[in-house]
């Protein structure tokens, strides 16, 4: 009985931890206004947002600019003439 109460207490404390951010890379790519807002916050106060969130912002910015990377490189059919 005592072990079960300790387990339940630990489970409740784990559930009360910090929740995960809803600003994932995919959500930020889909919401450019939120991305712009977070980019500005990362520039001014990176310590407040945290490295993980600012890294997600940077990745979302890269994906919006470069695309998803599904287009393969196609070299030219003729050799360049120098």
Q: Residue 33 has what pLDDT?
A: 95
What ranges do the domains of the chain cover?
21-67
The per-residue pLDDT of the chain, averaged, comes to 83
Q: Where are the alpha helices (DSSP H) in the chain?
A: 2-15, 25-30, 32-44, 46-49, 51-66
Pairwise pLDDT comparison (19 vs 73), residue with the higher score: 73
The percentage of residues in the chain with a pLDDT greater than 90, rounded to a whole number, is 50
- Residues 8, 54: Cα–Cα separation, whole Å: 35
Q: pTM surpassing 0.75?
A: no
- Residues 23, 29: Cα–Cα separation, whole Å: 10
């Amino acid at each position: 009985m005592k072990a079960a109460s300790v387990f339940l207490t630990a489970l409740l404390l784990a559930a009360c931890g910090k929740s995960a951010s809803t600003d994932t890379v995919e959500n930020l790519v889909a919401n450019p206004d939120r991305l712009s807002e977070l980019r500005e916050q990362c520039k001014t106060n990176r310590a407040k947002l945290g490295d993980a969130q600012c890294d997600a912002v940077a990745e979302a910015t890269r994906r919006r600019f470069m695309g998803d990377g599904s287009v393969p490189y196609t070299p030219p059919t003729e050799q360049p003439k120098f």
